[in-house]
Structures are given as C-alpha cells and as structure tokens.
Amino acid sequence: MIRALAKSIREYRRDAILTPFFVTLEVILECMIPLIMAQLIDQMTGEAMTPIIRYGLALLAMALASLFCGAMSGRYAATAACGFAKNLRQDLYFKVQDFAFADIDRFSTSSLVTRMTTDVTNVQMAYQMLIRIAVRTPLMLIFSVVMSLTINAKMALIFLVMVPLVGAALFTISGTVRPIFKRIFKKYDALNASVQENVAGIRVVKSFVRENYEIEKFGKAAEEVRSDFTNAEKILAFNQPTMMFAIYMAMLLVSYFGSRMIINTVSTELSTGELSSLLTYGIQILASMMMLSMLFVMASMAQESAARIAEVLKHESSLTSPTDGATEVADGSIVFEHVSFKYRAEGKKDALSDINLSIPSGATVGIIGGTGSSKTTLIQLIPRLYDVTEGCVKVGGKDVREYDLETLRSQVAVVLQKNVLFSGTIRENLRWGDKTASDEEIERVCRLAQADEFVQQFPEKYDTYIERGGTNVSGGQKQRLCIARALLKKPKILILDDSTSAVDTKTDSLIRRAFREEIPETTKIIIAQRVSSVEDADIILVMDGGRIVEQGTSEELLAAGGIYREVYDSQTRSKEAV
C-alpha cells in the first residue's frame, strides 16, 4: 500500500525531505533552550548583569532560529502534502481512464468519486502530519528524555514511567476506532451514490413529486454516517482528558519531589533552574504525546482511505492492449465465432450464448429484440469494451484482442441511446470525434446527421454553448449531434444503439439515406425498437435471451412469420390505428 502511494510523491520528494530536516533542527533548538534557561535562572544572584545579558541574547537567537526552522518545515510540509494530493488525484483519474467497463462496475462510480475526494483529502492531511509531526514527536520525546536524564536521572524516571502508560492508552483508543472508520467509508460510498442518482434523475423525481421520499432516503444514509462518526468521536474524546491527566500528574510529581530534593540537598543535587528545565522538558514530552494522539486519530482515518486508494492504483484493468498490437484495421468486416459472454466470471447465466455471425464490410445490419435480449451487450464486444468469455470476435479479419486498443476503438464509433454531451460549444463537442476537423467537415457531418438545420437556427450557431449533460437541447437534437460526432471519426464501423429513438420517423429515414449514399464503405449496425429503422438493412438480426433467433432480410423474415413478423404487424397496426 505504501509503495503504491509513494509513487505519487514524484517532484515533491525534495519538499518531503526538507520538511523533517528543518523539523529536526527545530527540535534540537527547542531542547537546548531549557538548558540555557536553567543557566539564566541560576545566574540571577543580583551580583552582575553580564551573564544574564549573555544568556538572554543566546536565548533570543535560538528562539528566532527555532521560529525560522518551524516556519520552513511548515512551508515545505504544506507544499509536499498538497503536491502529493494533486498527483494522487491525477494518478487515480488516469488509472480510471484505463479501466474497462467491468472494472468500473466492480468499484462503482460513487466509490471512485469518494476515493478521489474524501479519501485523498484524508491521506493528504495524514501525509502532512507524517512528514512533520510524526518526525517531531519521537525526536522531541527522545531528546527531552535524554536531556532530563542528564539533569537528574531520578526525576526523569517519572517521565519514563508516564510515557509508555500514555502510549498504551492511545494505542487502545486508536485500535478501537479503526473498524468504525472502515465502516464509515463504505457508507460514504452509499451516500454519494444516493446524491449522484438523485441529481442525475432530478427531472424524474420532480415529475413524480418524490422530493420528500428522496429527502428521507438521503436523511437515513446521512444519519448512519453521523451515528458512526459520533461513536468514533466519543471514543476519541478520551484522548484529551487522558493526555491532560498525564501532564498534570507528571508536573505535580516533578514539582513535589523536585522541591523536596532542592530543600533536602540544599540545591546540590538539583538547582532551581534545573527544576524549571525539568518542568519544561516534561511539558515538551507530554505535549509530544498529545501530538502523537492527534497523529493516531488522523492515521486511523487515513489508513482505510489509503487502502482504498491503493486498491484502485494497484488494480490492473481487465482489458489491456497487447504489447505489439496491430495498428491498422483492414476493413469493417465483423465475425462472431461461437461467442459466449457473461459479465462476471462467477455468474451462472450467459448474457450471450454461442453467437455465430458474419458481417461483410460496408453492410448495414439491423438488430431488434425485446428489453434484456442482450442487443447492447453484443455490440459492446466489437470495440472491445468487454472481452468475450468464450469464442472470439474478429474485426477486419483479426481477433479484436490482437489490436492496439486505441487503434481498434478509433475505427469503431458507438452512439448510445443515453447520449452524453459535455459542457462547451457545439463545435468543441463535435471535435471529440476529430480534434483537427475543419469547420467544413463539421458542417458536413451535421448535414448527414440532420443536425445542421437546427444548429443554424441558434443565434451562435456552432458556437452555441452546451450546458453540462446537454440539458439545453432536446433529446432528438442531442442524438443527432452525437451521431455527427461519431461520423467525424471517419470510422470503418458505425454502431447506433437505439440512438434515433428520440427523432421522428422522417428524420430517421433521412439519416439512414445519408448513410447509404455518403458512407457506403462503412459497416453500419443499427439497434432499434422501430421496424422502420431497420427494414431496409442488408441483414436483420432478431435477438431473444442472448441468442440470435432470426436472421435475414426484411422480406425473408416477414415470410418466415416469426418474432420479426409479429413486431412488424404490431407496429403497422398501431400506425393504421393512428
């Protein structure tokens, strides 16, 4: 875990090294000051000012030097921690970009968001404490105890006895709260999932007047987090009184026995200045223990966060490019050879079963089937968004697993039913397909996708700003823009996954006609619910239960009188009734 996280330090390693260096100097100076102070007190005899001035100037110089070292250690610690957190978020984000869909499903979106935000913040705070306080605390303990022993070994025994007792108490408290924090972070994931789901579906929530239900659901999740945090804080609350009791008890014992020693030995074994130094060292020792308790609290929270972050960083994507993957796709031909697929290896039922299919390059293929018939699952295997469980999928004559992933996916454009537009202008969104595309190319693909007409009606035309998620355009307009974006890739294979469901039949027909006339060499796969969207396809596939149950042209399937004929007759009667 530590090795995985340490890779994110990188250019901030220098700051991480300089922090403990200045902390060490600061501790040495702070531990020297009580010794000089003892000399100053013992020199206050009223006979001369020269020793007092000399020791006073020495104390001032050491205090200023200590202040400088403390400020520098704080500065470097802040730089190192913030830089580490920045790199950690970047590394997590870059890692997630390489994840396959199966990996995203495994972690869940809400959990990944929590790891990049709350967990990274916890690790950042713990890292800053680690390179500063975790260095300062043991050094201060060791130096203060050593200095106390040099002054008076008998008095130092009080500190030596107190330190392990307090340390044991802190360790017990820390061990008790750690499982609670582990449980809390899982509930954080659930809380974020609730927020994400609610915000994404806010229109549905409002249309069904379910605001109160969602508020209650969120309230329950928030209450569970509050309850666990409260229990953890109740336990951690023992830190402060435990430390204060130890400090006051140590001061009381040192003051009592030290005063008796001074009186009984007439300051021969212990002077007034040395007693003052012992009290100062005692405060430093126990203040260090107080810092240690804070470190334990932060470490308890950060340990689980660090483990969750490391889990993502160490996870290897289930889909990777081969070392010497093919970098050229010959054509848009597609072949499925005895393909079976399940989303989880331990799953009992296949999502696809023994699929055999051959699609020549440039053909138009229509796919229809009921909900859950695995239409989308079938097309996701072509750009290798998932890997087959059995058999193989070939594109351009090669198994998709032999291609460099970027090469394969650059030649397969997929337009999903749930289209996504990003915040930015229409032009910027379209250039996701080709960042170097000219304005003429953008307008051409928009004409093919029947999008140019409505874009020209906007005051800013292609510079019209699209809100996040495309909320300021209609569903049909969003679909057409996404089709245009896919066309801009100039793919060898174009897949439309029910991506014309929000456009009228006339526009749908115009889009398909443009495809036939303008991109005849591109293999086109159209998943649709409307028979009219696929009836002129070269091949029509009817899917049911993860299998291809019918295959042929529209005329052949109508003549066969199967599922396709039933759907066709049902939709035709519906039109006639209207």
Q: What is the pLDDT along the chain (578 residues), one digit of tens a residue?
A: 788 888 888 888 899 899 989 989 988 888 888 777 777 776 666 566 777 788 788 888 888 998 999 899 989 999 999 999 899 988 888 888 878 777 777 777 777 888 888 888 888 888 888 888 888 888 887 888 788 787 877 777 877 777 777 777 777 776 777 777 767 767 776 777 777 667 666 767 777 777 787 778 777 778 877 887 788 777 777 777 777 787 778 778 878 888 888 888 777 777 777 778 778 877 777 777 777 767 776 776 777 788 888 888 888 877 778 888 888 888 889 999 999 988 877 777 888 888 898 989 888 898 988 877 888 888 888 888 888 888 999 998 889 888 888 888 888 888 876 777 888 888 888 888 888 888 888 888 888 888 888 888 888 888 888 887 667 778 788 888 888 888 888 888 888 887 777 677 788 788 888 888 778 888 989 888 888 888 888 888 988 888 888 888 888 888 888 888 888 888 776 555 54
Say if CB 425 and CB 462 are below 8 A apart.
Answer: yes
User: Is the separation of the CB atoms in 430 and 485 below 8 Å?
Assistant: yes
Q: CA-CA-CA-CA torsion for 122, 102, 467, 411, nearest 10 degrees?
A: 130
Q: What share of the chain is helix, strand, coil (3-state, %, to 5)?
A: 65, 10, 25
Bridging pattern class, strands 412-415 and 493-497:
parallel
Q: With CA atoms as reference, report the closest residue to 8 among 68, 90, 69.
A: 90
What's the pTM value of the predicted model, to 2 decimals? 0.64
281/8 Cα distance (integer angstroms): 38
Q: How far apart are CA 264 and CA 29, in angstroms?
A: 33
pLDDT of residue 22: 92
Matching residue, tokens 């009606």: 457
- Measured distance CA(74)–CA(67) in Å, rounded: 11
